[in-house]
A = this chain, B = another copy of it.
């Protein structure tokens, strides 16, 4: 089992003929993902990676290939259009990699999505991977993953790769790894993912990787306290970041009292979460919890 994606995933890649889109579509394919179609307006009829047909529109791609998940690589200014096109064409799960999507575009997209009943992951996220299903829908390096029972959810892409590497190095496999993205407005948050991990019979332990800014970790803490029956370990990045400065991620700016790493750690600790003290100790902390 896995959450969000599995061997029934029929992946469409929007922006497949771009540099990043083409590279990562092939990487997903190589990993084992069932990449059924690509879309780039003006490039309909092309073939990518020797076998992925390119269509003019998402509607066409869905009609011809039954694609049900879309991975979006178009540049940020065009991401809203691509996301809405995917929703309109009936795609159930949309994963938007693009960094720098205007926040009002995200707001409009999320409003439309909530009306239509689809799910968005991101924007500004690395995607999802389920090693046991050989299904990689995103830009994470596939080879670092190992099938197993730890669910990983993170706001940060590279920090989640770091976490996975440490787990795999200790022979601790992952059920599903979900990057929810670093923007202040995202389609799927910690609570959404925690809910699914908690229900997923294959997930036995959850690693949550948060950072400064916003209050999503506090929401997660409340949810964990009330509903989550599985052990959770958490690392929060940004303990040394100065107040009032924006640390790259649009979501990572500390405003007032409710965004500091200390406050988040304390909320999670109160909810019974094991706090990982240093970024180098993610793997070892989980290992100690399992042993």
Distance (whole angstroms) from the CB of A218 to the closest CB of chain B = 23
Main secondary structure of the interface of A (DSSP, over half): helix
| Number of copies of chain A assembled together | 2
Q: Mark A83-125, 1 if CB is under 8 A from B, else 0.
A: 0000000000000000000000000000100110000000000
Interface residues of A in 110-159 (CB under 8 A from B): 111, 114-115
Considering only CB atoms, which chain B residue lies closest to A115 in the complex? B114
C-alpha spacing A72/B87, complex, angstroms: 34
C-alpha spacing A114/B112, complex, angstroms: 10
Residues of B within 8 A of A114 (CB): 115
Considering only CB atoms, which chain B residue lies closest to A110 in the complex? B115
C-alpha spacing A64/B111, complex, angstroms: 31
Residues of B within 8 A of A115 (CB): 111, 114-115
Distance (whole angstroms) from the CB of A15 to the closest CB of chain B = 28
Considering only CB atoms, which chain B residue lies closest to A117 in the complex? B114
C-alpha spacing A115/B108, complex, angstroms: 12
Q: Which of A's residues lie within 8 Å of B, judged by CB?
A: 111, 114-115
